[in-house]
């Protein structure tokens, strides 16, 4: 159980960092207009498909396994899962912004990425607060 929890936290940190960095990369790529780089080799697309998405999947699968193995489903967990679902929607929106930059005339991409970055950071902060303020149900055996 400890290794599963470690995997979950580590993949969440990687997913959060990758998503935030991605939202900084997208306006940079749109402003430079790299036309000589093929669509499949652009940095923001590779960052999204090779790092952010796999880290997000590992986070969600390991989190699901944690409460499936532990068997504790409480109100705070349902609230946390709702916030995680909103974070998944932010991840999808970041992917859509990558597709949006492929258009010939892109307007307001920096503002859209900044807005999505702020929402993402607020959701990550909410997840952190929910986890740290969760009610103590029982002392874990490895801490006693």
What pLDDT score does 116 carry? Answer: 97
What pLDDT score does 144 carry? Answer: 47
Q: Sign of torsion, CA 113 62 76 134?
A: negative
What pLDDT score does 30 carry? Answer: 72
> Is 67:73 a contact under the CB 8 Å cutoff?
yes
Scanning the structure block, which residue is given the tokens 């790529």? 29
> Is 127:83 a contact under the CB 8 Å cutoff?
yes
**Euclidean distance between CA atoms 134 and 99, whole angstroms:** 38
What pLDDT score does 37 carry? Answer: 58
What pLDDT score does 127 carry? Answer: 92
> Is 87:138 a contact under the CB 8 Å cutoff?
no
| Run of H or E residues at 20 | helix 2-32
CB atoms within 10 A of CB 45: 22
Mean pLDDT, 10 residues at a time, the chain of 144 residues: 91 96 88 59 87 96 89 80 95 94 84 96 94 66 50
Cα 50 versus chain centre, distance: 13
**Euclidean distance between CA atoms 92 and 86, whole angstroms:** 10
Structural domain boundaries in the chain: 2-143
**Euclidean distance between CA atoms 47 and 29, whole angstroms:** 12
């Amino acid at each position: 159980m400890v290794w599963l929890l470690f995997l979950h936290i580590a993949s969440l940190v990687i997913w959060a960092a990758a998503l935030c960095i991605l939202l900084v990369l997208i306006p940079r790529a749109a402003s430079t207009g790299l036309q000589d780089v093929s669509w499949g080799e652009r940095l923001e697309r590779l960052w999204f498909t090779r790092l952010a998405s796999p880290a997000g999947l590992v986070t969600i699968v390991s989190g699901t396994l944690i409460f499936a193995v532990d068997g504790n489903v409480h109100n705070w967990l349902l609230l946390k899962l709702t916030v995680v679902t909103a974070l998944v929607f932010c991840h999808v929106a970041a992917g859509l912004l990558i597709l949006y930059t492929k258009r010939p005339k892109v307007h307001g991409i920096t503002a859209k990425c900044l807005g999505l970055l702020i929402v993402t950071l607020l959701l990550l902060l909410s997840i952190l607060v929910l986890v740290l303020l969760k009610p103590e149900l029982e002392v874990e055996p490895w801490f006693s």
